[in-house]
Amino acid sequence: MKVLSQNFKSASKAALLNDDLRSALDRAEGGFVNTRKKAVAELRNFEDYRTYGQQVKDHTLKHLGYYLTQFENKVVKSGGHVHWAGNGEQANKIILDICSAANARKITKGKSMVSEEAATNKSLQDQGYEVIETDLGEYIIQLAGESPSHIIAPAVHKSKQNVTDLFHQHHSRLGFLEKVTEPEDIVNQARQVLRDHFCSADVGITGANFLVADTGSAVIVTNEGNGDLTASLPGVHIIIASIEKVIPDLVSLGGFLRLLGRSATGQIMSVYTTLFNGPKRKDDLDGPDQFHVVLLDNGRTEILKSKYQDILRCIRCGACLNHCPVYTNIGGHAYGWVYPGPIGSVLTPLLVGQTKAMHLPNACTLNGRCQTVCPVKIPLPSLLRQHRVDLVQMGAHSWAQKFGLWCWYSLASRPKWYNQITRILVAILARTATRGRFRWLPLARPWTATRDFPAPAQSTFQQLWKAQHRRKT
Amino acid sequence: MSAREAILLKIFEVTGSSNFGSAPDFSIKLPQPDYEFDIQSNKIESNKTDRFVAMLAQVHGTCEMLENLGDVPDSVTNYLTKVGAELRAVIATDEKLSQLDWRDMAVESRAAQKFDRTSITVAFAGIAETGTIAMVSSAQSPITLNFLPEINIVVLLESRLVATMEQFWPKIEAQPRAINFITGPSKTADIEQTLVYGAHGPRHFHVIIVKNQR
């Protein structure tokens, strides 16, 4: 996927002025936050599971080589093929080769974020393959020619009216002449259209939520059942997954499933959780003849080496997005690449370059809500702060920012000056304010353009402290 | 150098050689789930069934309890009549189903096809904690029956009900091609967060719990 993160400032400004988008986000946020809260409360020792998730992921990362090769051996034993890809291009080449060897024409696809990283759809379409996304949200944005704006709800930014129009535009040639306006009818029409594709596809591509090393199982979790139809009906099933998806065994899978559904959609268990172990067996009546797993690095081994290793624990539940005051106001597209929200603000700079995505870690209030809901306890605010430190050390900021920081540094490291100057400033501000606030202030236009700036108290904290101290003694 | 070698070499640089030899000591203990509703206690066996039924209802699944396996065809006929469906179904290639006297029903034993309306399967197990049905693929249990039809009826022997997923894993002897955990009918909330059932998979998910395998 093309990187547009460098445009974050203008894109987020535009998003804030987009009323349709804001109301779509408002609708989603409340739902996600409340259902998660309820589902988490129902499991009284949910916190123990978060600790467990963190420990198991850390353990797996520490022994990543062992678990990946164990997974590979088990897949091969059950008759599947494992391919390794250093980057998206290599992964796409592998997938193209499999599709061409299978004489494929039509390819159905389940939701996969790493395939967005690799821009797999485009690479297949450029070679003349018909590619159909089958998750309803993904299908909608594919029709719209857009990218996902949320990890688990890719079309969260689309209104019902948008979908009605899109379906009318694309489905009338298939004989669906009337506009569908109710959610039931929209879903039903998608069901009919996609059913034909499921049953006529030559290859099915899905992602994986987990790879179980001990059994060689690729696990996918969905609510619609599209992943299972994609995986079971065509003659070839290809799974694309990044290397940090591996976990030790089935028991640990049980732990992660208790975390994932609750954190993602507030479900105690998602509707479909499927373990795939290789191709169709001798006596099976259905299932694919070929089973391929593409293990994708795409920057993970670099992250493993870095101070950002903790981010590799992520299980892509999207809880940090739903609880982020920035994401819930600007939506996913402003972030300019595959992963939005707090996880995106940490991951995008690591995968596409820190300077290119430098606005992302800076657009954070460090309120810490993301960390408190993360099912694997990723210290997201600390990692975002680390990015800021790196950016300063790299000298990535503009001249004005550097000068501003230098001024602040010079002042803050000289307590005497600091006290004097703040005292004078505060006194002036307190006296010049009208009714306790400012409608305009020099250098503060971005703030005062949309709201008043509150006037400070008459004296500084230092002054008050000294005064009180004097009284006591 | 192949991509495989390159990736493993990079991992090796970070984690050291211990990575590739013998199995690491994985001793992190999975917590026991703690619910208000006690499903672990073996003293109250009926708790498992109650929890299963309650959890299934929460996710819009329906349930019926029968004494004997022989009562299944009548129960299916009643259910299909109630939801207004044709008395025709594809049944799993499982002896438990094919030996039954289906009387009013037209049944075929095979994998599912595009326009099949109703499927009837036999659950490998049920998990009480989450109201989940576990299906294990085999020549007797084609997986397409779980996903293609609009109505999916699952026969679950009560003796196959376990409390948690941890109690389920040991029941699997050799890994099958696929294990499907199913918790309710297919659904989506992709249109303005409105919950709609029957996205791509079954719109109706009906479990018949049978006490005796007769």
- The pLDDT score that the predictor gives to residue A396 is 87
The two beta strands, A246-247 and A437-438, are unpaired
Any chain A CB within 8 A of the CB of B18?
yes
Residue range A73-127, pLDDT digits in tens: 999 999 999 999 999 999 999 999 999 999 999 999 999 999 999 999 999 999 9
Based on DSSP, count helices (H) and strands (E) in chain B, helices before strands: 5, 12
Q: Considering CB atoms only, which of A42, A62, A281 is closest to B177? A: A281
Model pLDDT, residue A470: 86
The residue type found at A395 is G
Contact A44 B36 (CB under 8 A): yes
Report the pLDDT value the prediction gives residue A351, as an integer from 0 to 100: 96
Q: How many CB atoms lie within 10 A of CB A372?
A: 13
Is residue B29 one of the residues assigned to a domain? Answer: no
Q: Mean pLDDT, to the nearest integer, of B70-89? A: 97
Find out whether B178 and A274 touch, Cβ atoms under 8 Å.
yes
Query: Is A228's Cβ below 8 Å from some Cβ in B?
Result: yes
Residue A396: C-alpha distances to residues A6, A8, A191, A303, A399 (Å): 13, 16, 49, 20, 9
What are A334-373's pLDDT values in tens digits?
A: 999 999 999 999 999 999 999 999 999 999 999 999 999 9
- Round to whole Å and give the CA distance between A13 and A360: 13
Q: Is residue B73 part of a domain?
A: yes
Residue B44 has pLDDT above 60, yes or no: no
How many domains are there within chain B? 1
Interface test with A, best of B32, B190, B205 (most A CBs within 10 A): B190
Of all residues in chain A, the one with the smallest CA distance to B172 is A250
Judge whether B178 is closer than 8 Å to chain A, CB to CB. Answer: yes
Could you tell me if A419 lies within 8 Å of chain B, comparing CB atoms? no
DSSP-derived 3-state class of residue A290? strand
CB contact under 8 A, A276 and B177: yes
Residue A227 has pLDDT above 90, yes or no: yes
H or E segment to which residue B155 belongs: strand B151-157
Higher pLDDT, residue B213 or A288 = A288
**Residue A382 buriedness (CB in 10 A; 0-12 / 13-18 / 19+):** middle
**Chain position carrying tokens 């009605």:** A164
Q: Where are any strands of DSSP class E within A74-161?
A: 81-85, 106-109, 130-133
Whole-complex ipTM: 0.96
Interface test with B, best of A211, A269, A283, A313 (most B CBs within 10 A): A269
Q: Which of A21-25, A434-438, B106-110 has the lowest mean pLDDT?
A: A434-438
Residue among A36, A223, A280 with most chain B CBs within 10 A, to mutate: A223
Torsion of CA B51, B56, B58, B59, to 10 degrees: 150
Instruction: Using the CB atoms, write b or e for B114-123: b if 16+ within 10 Å.
Output: eebebbbbbb
Q: Which residues in chain B touch residue A215, judged by CB atoms under 8 angstroms apart?
A: 175
* Nearest CB neighbour to B24, from listed A63, A250, A284: A63
Kindly write down the DSSP assignment for every residue of A231-275, as one continuous string: HHSSSEEEEEEEGGGEES-HHHHHHHHHHHHHHHTS-SS-SEEEE
Tell me the CB-side half-sphere exposure of residue A406, using CA atoms within 13 A.
Answer: 8
H or E element in which residue A438 lies: strand A437-438
pLDDT at B46 over 80: no
- Give the pLDDT band (50/70/90) at residue B213: confident
The CATH number assigned to the domain holding B199 equals 3.40.50.10420
B180: chain A residues, CB-CB within 8 Å: 228, 272-274
Q: Which pLDDT score is estimated for B208?
A: 98
What's the half-sphere exposure (Cβ side, CA atoms, 13 Å) at A265? 21
- At A437 the pLDDT is 87
Question: What's the full length of chain A, in residues?
Answer: 473
Residue B61 falls inside a structural domain: yes
More confidently predicted of A325 and A445: A325
pLDDT at residue B39, as a whole number: 67
Asked if B75 reaches chain A (Cβ–Cβ under 8 Å), the answer is no
DSSP, residue by residue, A104-120 = --EEEE---HHHHHHTH
pLDDT of residue B41: 59
pLDDT of the residue at A448: 86
Domain of B48 in residue numbering reads as: 41-212
User: Is residue B119 a contact partner of residue B155, using CB atoms and an 8 Å limit?
Assistant: no
Q: What mean pLDDT, rounded, does chain A reach?
A: 95
CB of B83 less than 8 A from some CB of A = no
